[in-house]
Amino acid sequence: MSINLQGIINLGEREEYIRELTMNRPLATVPFAGRYRLIDFMLSNMVNSGIDSISLIVKNKFHSLNDHIGPGKDWDLDRKTGGLRMLYPDLEPDSNLISIGDIPIVRSNLAHFASLKKDHILLTRSNYIGNIDFRPAYEEHVKKGNDITVLTRRIRQGRMRIDLLGMDIIQKRNGTYSIGRNLGNQNNFDLSIEMFLMKKSVFLRIVHETIEEGVEPYLKKAIISRLSDYKVDTYTVDVDILPIHSIQQYYNASLTILDPIYAQYLFYKNGKIYTKVKDAPSTLYATGSEVNNSLIANGCVIEGTVENSIIFRDVHIGRGAVVRNSIVFQDTQISSRANMNYCIIDKFVHIGSGKVLMGDGGLPYVISKGASIR
Amino acid sequence: MIHSKVVAMILAGGQGSRLKNLTRKTAKPAVHFGGKYRIIDFTLSNCANSGIHSVGILTQYQPLALNTHIGTGVPWDLDRKGGGVEILPPYMSTEGGRWYAGTANAIFENIDYIDLHQPEYVLILSGDHIYKMDYRKMVAFHQKTKADVTVSVIEVPWEEASRFGILNTKDDDVIYEFDEKPANPKNNLASMGIYVFNWKLLRRYLREDHKNKESTHDFGSDIIPEILRQGHRMMAYRFSGYWRDVGTVDSYWEAHMDLLDPNNELRLYDDEWKIFTKNLDVPPHYISDAGHVENSLLNEGCEVYGTVKNSILSTSSVVEEGAVVTDSILLPYARVGKGAVLKKTIVLSHHKVQEDEVLGDGETITLAGAYDMGIL
């Protein structure tokens, strides 16, 4: 059943720490888990929570996003009422520059936000991986009459967690909440996972005020700076969520899903994860192939050895090739006797026979899209 | 261009009783095949890839799985305005209700559907064969040879010809006689049950056949011989390539084993002629540390903690620790319990093989599971 909640996914994400994988695509469409793109998880979570109207705030690299999402059919979002809407920035006719920040995109689409039929919005990012039911948070948000509910994850013994450095943390002092940056000094804290439930009226007011002031170019910062003006509360999400801001987080998150218990949660808990259909046949394992602790998508032909790895659709791994601790994107060819460890290989790459590529667990070696190593 | 001239009619109402428990609760065209497909996906994808946009599917026996699978035809891009896919079950009329009495009768009862599209040609197809075929080429051949009827044929070994419906032809592939399972075959061109008819001609013969009390209302035994008797021009269109009628448990199993040959003629990995099917939204498959897979085909959603050899694992089937699966087929959501040993066994969908259960002697094929609902 649908709920009185509009999904807004803000794709104005920072990409500088995951640059190699976002050369040709926004962070939202970075491939993940063998057959998905990052945004599939947030879209599916929303749809599985009963949200039937979703707006995407789109910054750049539209092609990859359009190609993947289209009219939203694969998420059941090709609807006459609601459904999926992409919000593009206006390009100035005499300039090809895209303005800084995401507020200009919001400004270009003010009429869309004003016309939304729902009374509440859920503002999120595309780069948090999880299988989240938003309904309990939404129900509490409505029941408490909050203007803004900040979704959080409770972290214990977080001082040692290098992966959480630089992420948003939320704290309450003298009755008001504030959101800052984790510098690793605190041991127990609440992480803000950049998901906000808001009254639509409050969202619109913040947006209008920010545009009128003309100073703050970022939506998230605009909201954070006004928390003290509103009735704010937090809601602790109790499922595991993997943030993906950097190559290292991306790599670690990918290997996390090789744990069958985690995979069971991520792919099934509150509903399935939907993605664009590719119609690839099943994967063929030749005699002499050896595959262990790996996640393999359809359409592959595996003749070599694969260990602790994730292989996307339509990959060919030749005889005698060895792929360890690596992630191989779709349509890539690993020729016979090639050997790789700790690598992330993008789409349409050709690795010639006998080639050796080694990264490190702390710094995986990334081969960019379309490269040919012969 | 072809779509405005051709309507395809897929015969999908047969029981396929020789598939035993596989078809007790499911029509044969809806039986799972090749890890991720159902048998009818091949014919439907051939239509889609051939640019045929009006497809009628004649259903009768146990249609639930077939209906839910086809839906509005989205996977085959057949959700179209002014055409697309149409499921055509038997219906009531002022003369009462009646089941389809034969393949020709099923088409006769749906003359209105075909007339709606005003086609020049009608393509009669069977929903239970595994093959890839460009129907455009067959229609072009039909036009070029100025045929009234064209029958697609495949060369079979002479010693097996007596198991097929054989078409006897003159040198220029003009058909002069149809021989159903001849004891002494005069030719080795077997009918594939695929016909192109000039619609006006077929329409006339269907109406006449309907009035004929002697007729069994079957294309092979009644319509084709009658059209030949009346001296119309009937051509044999030679098809070469992979084509299997998976009508028995043995042939069903063998066609699966064919898929384990990376160079098999069906060429499933050919991007130019994809086989489409309904998407089940499951993640990639997982092979654990202890898992071992060789010479096998695995689909999405599978989990392997045991050993799999020379086998096909369909969508979301699971092989638990210590289990050994050899020369077998697991249908969707089948589960093989810890320590179980399977040889030459077909496990029906959603069936669970118990821990340490031993199935199959490696000689004849064992079917595990009482019936397959075909619903996923």
From first to last of its 374 residues, chain A has per-residue pLDDT tens of 679 999 999 998 888 888 889 988 999 999 999 999 999 999 999 999 999 999 999 988 889 999 999 999 999 999 988 999 999 988 766 666 667 889 999 999 999 999 999 999 999 999 999 999 999 999 999 999 999 999 999 999 999 888 899 999 999 999 999 999 999 999 999 999 999 999 999 999 999 999 999 999 999 999 999 999 999 999 999 999 999 999 999 999 999 999 999 999 999 999 999 999 999 999 999 999 999 999 999 999 999 999 999 999 999 999 999 999 999 999 999 999 999 999 999 999 999 999 999 999 888 999 999 999 99
3-state secondary structure of A148: strand
Give this complex's ipTM: 0.92
Q: Do residues A12 and A127 share a domain?
A: yes
Report the CATH number that the domain containing residue A357 is assigned in CATH: 2.160.10.10
Tokens of residue A367, six digits: 């081969």
pLDDT digits (tens, 9 = 90+) for B155-214: 999 999 999 999 999 999 999 999 989 999 999 999 999 999 999 999 999 999 999 999
Distance from CA of A236 to the nearest CA of B (A): 27
Chain A residues with CB under 8 Å of B282 CB are 267, 272
Of B36, B260, B281, the CB nearest to A281: B36
* Set of chain B residues whose Cβ sits within 8 Å of the Cβ of A296: 284-287, 298
Instruction: Compute φ and ψ for A357, nearest 5 degrees.
Output: -130, 125
Distance from C-alpha of B36 to C-alpha of B277, rounded to nearest angstrom: 8
Single residue among A242, A268, A294 that ends a domain in this structure? A268
Chain B residues in contact with A275 (beta carbon < 8 A)? 281
- Look at residue B2 in the predicted model and tell me its pLDDT: 53
Q: How far is B292 from chain A (nearest CA, A)?
A: 7
Q: Do residues A114 and A46 both lie within one domain?
A: yes
Residue A366 domain-assigned? yes
Q: How many domains is chain A built from?
A: 2
* Residue B216: how many other CB atoms lie within 10 Å: 14
Q: Between β-strands A36-37 and B92-93, what pairing exists: parallel, antiparallel or unpaired?
A: unpaired
- With beta carbons less than 8 A apart as the criterion, state whether B56 and B111 touch: no
Put simply, the answer to whether B295 touches A287 (Cβ < 8 Å) is yes
Q: Specify the 3-state DSSP secondary structure of B232.
A: coil
Confidence check: pLDDT of B33 > 90: yes
Q: Which residues of B touch A284 (CB under 8 A)?
A: 259-260, 262, 296-297
Residue A276 lies in a domain: no
Residues A201, A224: Cα–Cα separation, whole Å? 16
How is A150-165 classified by DSSP, letter by letter?
A: EEEEEESS-TT-GGGT
A278 is a domain residue: no
Same structural domain for residues A301 and A264?
no
Indicate whether A46 and A132 sit together in one domain: yes
Q: Which of B304, B243, B367, B241 is nearest to A285 (CA)?
A: B304
* B237 bridge partner residues: B152
Facing residue for B283 by CB, picked from A33, A292, A299: A33
Distance in Å, alpha carbon of B105 to nearest chain A alpha carbon: 35
**Helix, strand, or coil (residue B11):** strand
Residue for token digits 């790895």? A309
Give CA torsion, residues B28, B33, B39, B45, to 10 deg: 170
Task: Single out the residue of B129, B84, B74, B80 nearest to residue B277, CA to CA.
Answer: B74
Query: Which is nearest to B9 in space by CA: B177, B169, B206?
Result: B206
* DSSP codes, B289-330: SS-EEESEEE-TT-EESSEEES-EE-TT-EE-TT-EEES-EE
Does pLDDT of B331 surpass 50? yes
Q: Tell me the average pLDDT across B228-246.
A: 96
In sequence order, the β-bridge partners of residue A351 are A334, A373
Q: Tell me, yes or no, whether A171 and A295 share the same domain.
A: no
Contacts with A, B 60-89, CB within 8 Å: 74-75
Note whether A128 and A250 are same-domain residues: yes
Q: Do B294 and A311 touch (CB under 8 A)?
A: no
Is B159 in CB contact (< 8 Å) with chain A? no
Asked if the structure places residue A202 within a domain, the reply is: yes
The answer on A294 and A234 residing in a single domain is no
Name the token pair of A319. Answer: 């005889």
A145 inside domain:
yes
In terms of domains, do A93 and A197 share one?
yes
| Mean local confidence (pLDDT), B321-337 | 98
Q: Compute the distance between CA of residue B141 and CA of residue B133 in angstroms, rounded to an integer.
A: 14
DSSP state, residue A248: H
Interface residues of chain A, partner chain B, Cβ below 8 Å: 33-35, 73-74, 258, 260, 263, 267, 272-275, 277, 279, 281-299, 301, 310-311
Contact A147, A199 (CB under 8 A): yes
Please tell me whether residues A259 and A130 are part of one structural domain. yes
Nearest to B123 by CA among B101, B141, B145: B141
Give the nearest partner residue to B298 out of A285, A292, A310, using CB atoms. A285
Any domain includes A153: yes
At A207 the pLDDT is: 97
Asked whether the CA dihedral B281, B284, B290, B292 is positive or negative, the reply is: positive
With CB atoms and an 8 Å threshold, state whether A298 touches B299.
yes
- Whether A296 sits inside 8 A of B289 (CB atoms) is no
Please say which residue of A227, A244, A268 terminates a domain.
A268
pTM comes to: 0.94
Count of Cβ atoms closer than 10 Å to residue B176 Cβ = 11
Question: Residues A218, A305: one domain?
Answer: no
pLDDT value of position A98: 62
- Measured CA to CA in angstroms, residue A52 lies from A6, A72, A76, B101, B132 at distances of 8, 11, 8, 46, 39
Closest CA to A366 of A17, A8, A11: A17
pLDDT surpassing 70 at residue B373: yes
β-pairing verdict for A189-199 and A120-124 = antiparallel
| Domain boundary pick from A211, A233, A268 | A268
| Residue A274: inside a domain | no
Reference B198, options B264, B121, B106, B251; nearest CA is: B121
Taking contacts as CB-CB distances below 8 angstroms, the residues of chain B near A73 are: 74
Say if the Cβ atoms of A292 and B294 lie within 8 Å. no
Residue B138 backbone dihedrals phi, psi, to 5 degrees: -70, -40
For residue A256, what are the domain limits? 5-268
Contact A282 B293 (CB under 8 A): no
Range B352-372 average pLDDT:
96
> Taking CB atoms and an 8 Å cutoff, what residues of chain A touch B132?
none
Instruction: Examine the domain organization and report whether A208 and A340 are in the same domain.
Output: no
Higher pLDDT, B2 or B107: B107
By C-alpha distance, which of B167, B195, B255 is closest to B9? B195
pLDDT for B1: 45
Of B262, B293, B312, the CB nearest to A291: B293
Give the residue among A285, A283, A352, A276 at the shortest CA–CA distance from A321: A352
Q: Give domain status of residue A248, yes or no.
A: yes
* Residue A159's CATH number: 3.90.550.10
Strands (E), B77-229: 84-88, 92-93, 96-97, 121-126, 129-131, 149-155, 165-169, 175-180, 189-198
A283: nearest CB among B74, B292, B298: B298
Are A141 and A245 found together in one domain? yes
